[in-house]
Amino acid sequence: MPTASRQPTAGSSAPRSGIARPPAVMVLSGILILQALGVLGTAAASVLVIGAGALDVGAQIFLVVLYVLAAVWIGATGVGVWAGRPWTRAAVVVIELFAVILSISFFSAGNVSTGLVFLLPAAAALLLMFTRQAAEHLAGVERRADR
């Protein structure tokens, strides 16, 4: 008696742990994880300077909480891309558009190096997001070896 395949169908929310990931998906997921770690590092650095600066302590703590929440969101999106979750499409676009907007503010302030640190990974992630490999992976389409 044949057994049913345990691979999820397109649009399914079931985990796809046994599949091969295309290079575009691995790089995209890696970019998101690195961005999450960067935001988490910013949160840690902000904790070290609580009490100094123009903002009062309550506002600084609130900012740290926002940094941590953003890092969790970006990290979860990176893991979701790795797992092939369809909901990550919109999340990646929003995250990277925020990074592009932030980079523009750094460029406007004359801080080109920081602007590039935000812009280059965001541009790479947006380009990778719209590749065929990423689209098929996030849609649950199995890649055939003869393609």
pLDDT tens-digit series, residues 1-37: 444 444 445 444 444 556 689 999 999 999 999 999 9
Residue 61 C-alpha from the chain's centroid: 24
pLDDT (tens digit per residue) in 102-120: 999 999 999 999 999 999 9
- Dihedral sign computed on CA atoms, order 71, 78, 94, 88: negative
How far apart are the C-alpha atoms of 118 and 121, rounded to whole Å?
Answer: 6
Q: What amino acid occupies position 10? A: A
Residue where the block lists tokens 């929003």: 94
State mean pLDDT over 54-66.
94
Cβ-proximal residues to 78 (8 Å cutoff; 6+ apart), any chain:
29, 30, 31, 32, 33, 35, 36
- Centre a 10 Å sphere on the Cβ of residue 100 and count the other Cβ atoms it contains: 14
At 20 the pLDDT is 81
For 28, 48, 57, 93, 109, the CA distances from 53, given in Å and listed in that order, are: 35, 12, 9, 33, 19
Residue where the block lists tokens 């990290």: 75
How far apart are the C-alpha atoms of 15 and 84, rounded to whole Å?
Answer: 8
Angle separating helix axes 23-48 and 132-139, nearest 10 degrees: 80
